[in-house]
């Protein structure tokens, strides 16, 4: 090519390369440094490698990472599914301690006007009142203890872990009824069913040295069991004659431990007979009454009856260290 046309061609080429260069830099995908590196690379080995191109080995590496990550997720699902299933079964079995709809109940319960707890500093403590004497207090929300009100019950002498175990084992279907029709509460113990409770070793049942404590409760809704047990404890004599009682009672027994703070979502007032051992109660007002009311605790002894409106008072219980407690609980109203 002659010199002049060659010079014009070079100028034309330079101008267009500059325009291209500027356009590439402006779109932000390539930096000036990357263009410079690409040019140096071209000088070194005679071909341009654009830095934005993904090398084949890098792609293979990404595929490996994706494969490992996918396998890890698959393994996690494989291992976690049975564990989640066991966890859910366990949660369902403790439906009473933390009922499925507990949070819904708590969120939708009516707000207290605090009349039930204002000026209450502890339980009213009475002797063994007659029905007539108890009448004025019968439907009060004040916590009450009736000392020695149930000490004449045959249950205080005859009812214990072994009696209950023999009764439930003897009556066909009684053990399964607790799981199917009644309520079983294992609290902090590791028993899932009443069958587990009655299968524990004698050593643990008696909480001998080195054994773990246990505390459970259940409703004795099996008709035959209820008939047998009610031979040991009559309807509390102090309750009003017209007061209704449900066709099932609760039994709570065990060592140490107890129930965490909660409200009961039951239709009536609660009474409890302290058949064996001592038990401490902690009562607290609902949170909206914290500024007007106080929490307090008290304990009951064998033969005492305790009455608490457990629908209004948050309540928790615990059995003194190393001691055994057995109680019968029901409702009236």
Query: 219 or 310, CB closer to Fe ion?
Result: 310
CB of 315 to Fe ion, least distance (A): 6
Alpha carbons 216 and 256: distance in angstroms, whole number = 11
C-beta of residue 168 within 8 angstroms of C-beta of residue 175: yes
CB of 70 to Fe ion, least distance (A): 49
* Terminal C-alpha separation, the chain: 116
Query: 128 or 309, CB closer to Fe ion?
Result: 309
Alpha carbons 152 and 62: distance in angstroms, whole number = 80
Q: How far is CA 142 from CA 23, 42, 263, 286, 310, in A?
A: 85, 93, 15, 14, 10
Query: 102 or 207, CB closer to Fe ion?
Result: 102
CB of 325 to Fe ion, least distance (A): 15
CA Rg, the chain, in Å? Answer: 38
Q: In this structure, what token pair is assigned to residue 268?
A: 């009536």
Residues 6 or more apart from 52 whose CB is under 8 A from it? 29, 30, 34
CB of 108 to Fe ion, least distance (A): 18
SS3 for 193-215 is CHHHHHCCCHHHHCCCCCCCCCE
Residues 6 or more apart from 320 whose CB is under 8 A from it? 256, 278, 280
CB of 259 to Fe ion, least distance (A): 6
Query: 167 or 312, CB closer to Fe ion?
Result: 312
Query: 112 or 310, CB closer to Fe ion?
Result: 310
- Among the listed residues 250, 236, 272, the one whose alpha carbon sits nearest the alpha carbon of residue 131: 236
C-beta atoms surrounding 286 within 10 Å: 19
Query: 198 or 252, CB closer to Fe ion?
Result: 252
- Residue number closest to Fe ion, CB atom: 264
C-beta of residue 253 within 8 angstroms of C-beta of residue 212: no
Specify whether the backbone of 190 is left (phi greater than 0), alpha (psi in -120 to 50) or beta: alpha
- Among the listed residues 269, 290, 90, 121, the one whose alpha carbon sits nearest the alpha carbon of residue 193: 90
Query: 257 or 310, CB closer to Fe ion?
Result: 310
CB of 310 to Fe ion, least distance (A): 5
CB of 220 to Fe ion, least distance (A): 16
Query: 142 or 183, CB closer to Fe ion?
Result: 183
Task: Write out the residues near Fe ion by the rule CB under 5 A.
Answer: 264, 310
CB of 252 to Fe ion, least distance (A): 10
């Amino acid at each position: 090519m002659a010199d002049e046309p060659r010079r014009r061609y070079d100028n034309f080429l330079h101008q267009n390369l500059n325009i291209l260069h500027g356009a590439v830099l402006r779109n932000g995908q390539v930096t000036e440094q990357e263009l410079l590196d690409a040019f140096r690379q071209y000088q070194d080995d005679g071909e341009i490698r654009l830095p934005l191109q993904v090398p084949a080995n890098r792609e293979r590496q990404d595929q490996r990472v994706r494969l490992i990550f996918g396998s890890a997720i698959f393994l996690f699902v494989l291992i976690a599914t049975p564990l989640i299933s066991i966890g859910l079964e366990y949660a369902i079995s403790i439906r009473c301690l933390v009922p499925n709809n507990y949070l819904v109940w708590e969120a939708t319960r009516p707000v207290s006007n605090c009349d039930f707890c204002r000026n209450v500093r502890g339980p009213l403590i009475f002797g063994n009142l007659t029905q007539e004497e108890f009448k004025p207090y019968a439907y009060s929300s004040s916590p009450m203890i009736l000392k020695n009100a149930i000490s004449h019950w045959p249950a205080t002498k005859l009812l214990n872990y072994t009696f209950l175990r023999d009764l439930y084992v003897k009556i066909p279907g009684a053990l399964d009824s607790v799981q199917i029709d009644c309520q079983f509460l294992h609290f902090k113990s590791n028993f899932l069913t009443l069958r587990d409770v009655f299968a524990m070793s004698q050593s643990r049942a008696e909480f001998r040295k080195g054994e773990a404590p246990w505390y459970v409760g259940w409703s004795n809704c099996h008709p035959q069991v209820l008939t047998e047990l009610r031979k040991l404890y009559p309807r509390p004599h102090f309750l009003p004659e017209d007061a209704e009682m449900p066709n099932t009672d609760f039994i709570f027994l065990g060592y140490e431990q107890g129930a965490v703070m909660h409200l009961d979502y039951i239709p009536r007032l609660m009474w409890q007979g302290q058949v064996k051992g001592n038990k401490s109660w902690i009562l607290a007002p609902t949170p909206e009454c914290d500024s007007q009311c106080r929490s307090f605790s008290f304990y009951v002894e064998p033969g005492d009856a305790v009455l608490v409106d457990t629908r209004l008072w948050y309540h928790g219980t615990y059995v003194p260290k190393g001691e055994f407690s057995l109680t019968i609980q029901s409702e009236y109203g």
